[in-house]
Structure 1
Amino acid sequence: MPDSFRYHIRPAKSSDIQQVTALAIEGLDSDDLFNYNFPHRKEFPDDCHLAWYRIFESWLYIPRTLSLIPGRLDLRVRSCSWLIAKLYPKSINRHSSPSHIANFRASLDVIEEKYWQTQYRESLHLRALATKPEFRQKGIATALIEWGLQRSRTTGLVAGVESSEMAKGLYSKLGFQTIGYEELRDEMDAVQVKTWVMVWGADVDREGGS
């Protein structure tokens, strides 16, 4: 049975945000982009939780943005999906690296101008996806992604995502194609991680990083 039918996907509610925040932080613990941006989160867990709680809560009220979770929240998955407008973390406190955050924002600005405001201006955009480690390999993340891909099929719009290295394999397996990347560097100008730009449902020309 397709994953999109195995799990009932519903919109998140304000009463879900506390648990969603905790599971997202845990689920992204091994993600390279998350570690790059928030290297001090384990020293200051309250700062990290509050910052991301505010972000997830704000996403509930942004037009054309939909936060999705499985019908049973104890399955520990959270996704926020399919938009053009972006929202970046504003509560940058002790858990984060300001210079890395600045680099990450700059890379997203480049991606926005290069891809989402040009050839893929009309698109569905996957904003964030996290799964707690003990609930992976059960098809839950695939079901959440497929929710958006089904709407891509219906509307004819391309689906897009900026992926970390950790998630890139899953997106590729589901048919996303890499069209470019942006490198994120540390204070010594050494490349630490890459943000991969991927699309689904389009004939694409693959490009390197800028």
Structure 2
Amino acid sequence: MKPRRAEPSDIEAITKVHIRTMPLDPQWNYRFPYRNEHPEDHYKYTKMLLEYFLDPSYDDWLVMVVEDSLEPGGPTEIVSFGVWDVSYVNKRRYGPGYKTQDRKCHFQGPCAAKRGGGSRRDANPEHFKAFSQGQKKAYQKYFAPIGPEQIHLQILATLPEYQRRGHASSLCRWAMELVCQEGLKDMSVMASPMGYELYKSLGWDVVGTFWIQVPGEEEKLVLRAMMYKPPKLEGSSDSEEEVQVANGRCAIV
């Protein structure tokens, strides 16, 4: 199935995919160890975040979905989705002074606290904070120096019964084509063990490894900063005009 852009009406289906898929990833158990004891909180705040990503007024973010059916000719459902930071569009439009939209306002800090986020019971607060800070530091180290001409893969999830059918790959390839067509420098991701093999198979490079760990604890997460760079035509230079021509002709096969 070809990826399509998600709509706000897809929220329930996307929330279902997210909640059913993410426990397969070690970072989910690390951040949300109490989700089974408090499923109502887990559903509420997961949906709150995804509503933000789907809100058309927050256009620094783009959600793409893939639909499929287990039975040939049967009814389809959303089985896989990806969320990308595409703030390069607004940075191009409004210039270097553009201030990017902050998703944390919707599930962390004062804004989320007004909706009960400060008292959510499904998460380990220290692990949650360490994860957020660790990813921010890694992004600043490995990706921020590249500048605004890039996209970042924030979430990628596929329902367990639909995995290994190429749906996540199709979403990644769609985004890789976007990088080429838009003349961007790269697409980045903070890869967990769950996603690492997929990104590696698609030709992404590991640019760094980092740890998420609360001081004094033995438990930790190991994540990889990975990057996809579009191919350049033989003989092309780094001038803006020539790179755009080259990327306009590149194709992901």
Normalization by structure 1: what TM-score? 0.86
Shift of 1:182: 2.0
1:196 maps to what in 2? 224
1:13 maps to what in 2? 7
Structure 1 distance, partners of 2:187, 2:160, is 25
Structure 2 distance, partners of 1:12, 1:146, is 17
The answer as to whether partners of 1:21 and 1:56 remain within 8 angstroms in 2 is: yes
Moved more, 89-98 or 69-78: 69-78
Structure 2 distance, partners of 1:195, 1:98, is 19
The answer as to whether partners of 1:82 and 1:125 remain within 8 angstroms in 2 is: yes
Question: What amino acid does structure 1 have at the position aligned with 2:41?
Answer: D
Listed one character per residue, the Cα deviations across residues 130-170 of structure 1 (whole Å, up to 9, x for unaligned) are: 11111001000101111100011122320111111111010
Normalization by structure 2: what TM-score? 0.72
If asked which structure has higher relative contact order (CA below 8 Å, sep 6+), I would say 1
Question: What amino acid does structure 2 have at the position aligned with 1:189?
Answer: E
Alignment of 1:161 onto 2:189? yes
Percent identity, aligned pairs only, is 24
Alignment of 1:24 onto 2:3? no
Q: How many residues in Structure 1 have an aligned counterpart in Structure 2?
A: 197
Shift of 1:102: 0.7
Question: What amino acid does structure 2 have at the position aligned with 1:140?
Answer: H
Which ranges of structure 2 fall in alignment gaps of 5 or more residues?
69-75, 88-99, 109-116, 232-253
Structure 1 distance, partners of 2:40, 2:181, is 41
Choose which of 81, 84, 89 in structure 1 pairs with 2:84. 81
Which ranges of structure 1 fall in alignment gaps of 5 or more residues?
1-6, 204-210
The answer as to whether partners of 1:82 and 1:148 remain within 8 angstroms in 2 is: no
Q: Which ranges of 4 or more aligned residues in structure 1 deviate by more than 6 Å?
A: none
Higher-Rg structure is: 2
Structure 1 distance, partners of 2:198, 2:85, is 17
Choose which of 200, 205, 208 in structure 2 pairs with 1:180. 208
1:60 maps to what in 2? 54
Let me know the Cα RMSD of the aligned residues.
Answer: 2.0
The answer as to whether partners of 1:75 and 1:135 remain within 8 angstroms in 2 is: no
The answer as to whether partners of 2:3 and 2:65 remain within 8 angstroms in 1 is: yes
Shift of 1:184: 1.4
Structure 1 distance, partners of 2:192, 2:145, is 22
Alignment of 1:103 onto 2:130? yes
Q: 1:126 to 1:70 in 2, by over 3 A?
A: same
Alignment of 1:142 onto 2:138? no
